[in-house]
Homo-oligomer: A and B are copies of this chain.
Amino acid sequence: MAEFVSLAEGIESVVRDGCSVAMEGFTHLIPHAAGHEAIRQGRKRLTLIRMTPDLIYDQMIGMGCAEKLVFSWGGNPGVGSLHRLRDAVENGWPHRLELEEHSHAAMANAYEAGAANLPFAVFRGYKGVDLPKVNPRIKSVTCPYTGEVLATVPAIRPDAAVIHAQKADREGNVLLEGIVGVQKEAVLAAKRSLVTVEEIVEDFGPRNANAVILPSWAVTAIARVPGGAYPSYAHGYYKRANDFYIAWDKIARERDTFMAWMKANILEQGPEVFAHHAGLARQAA
Q: Which residues on A are within 8 Å of B, measured CB to CB?
A: 116-120, 122-124, 137, 139-146, 148, 150, 152, 154, 177-178, 180, 207-212, 235
Contact = CB atoms under 8 A, between A and B. Distances in A.
A120 B145 contact: yes
Contacts of A143: 119-120
A229 B209 CA distance: 19
Given A177-B209, A208-B210, 12 more contacts: A117-B124, A119-B146, A120-B122, A120-B143, A122-B122, A139-B144, A141-B144, A144-B152, A145-B154, A177-B210, A180-B210, A210-B212
A124 B118 CA distance: 7
Contact of A211 (B124, B140, B146, B208): B208
Contacts of A120: 122, 143-146
A103 to B, nearest CB: 16
Chain A interface mostly: loop
A140 B144 CA distance: 7
Contacts of A142: 141
A146 B117 CA distance: 13
B144 A178 contact: no
A202 to B, nearest CB: 19
A108 to B, nearest CB: 11
Can you tell how many copies of this chain the complex includes?
2
A253 to B, nearest CB: 36
Contacts of A140: 144
A53 to B, nearest CB: 24
A245 B19 CA distance: 54
B210 A118 contact: no
Contacts of A210: 177, 180, 208, 210-212
A124 B117 CA distance: 9
A225 to B, nearest CB: 23
A119 B144 CA distance: 9
Nearest to A147: B119
23 contacts: A118-B122, A118-B123, A118-B124, A119-B143, A119-B148, A119-B150, A120-B122, A120-B145, A120-B146, A137-B145, A139-B144, A139-B145, A141-B142, A141-B144, A144-B152, A145-B152, A145-B154, A177-B208, A177-B209, A177-B210, A180-B210, A207-B208, A210-B212
A206 to B, nearest CB: 10
A64 to B, nearest CB: 30
A175 B248 CA distance: 41
Contacts of A209: 177-178, 235
Nearest to A208: B208
Nearest to A141: B141
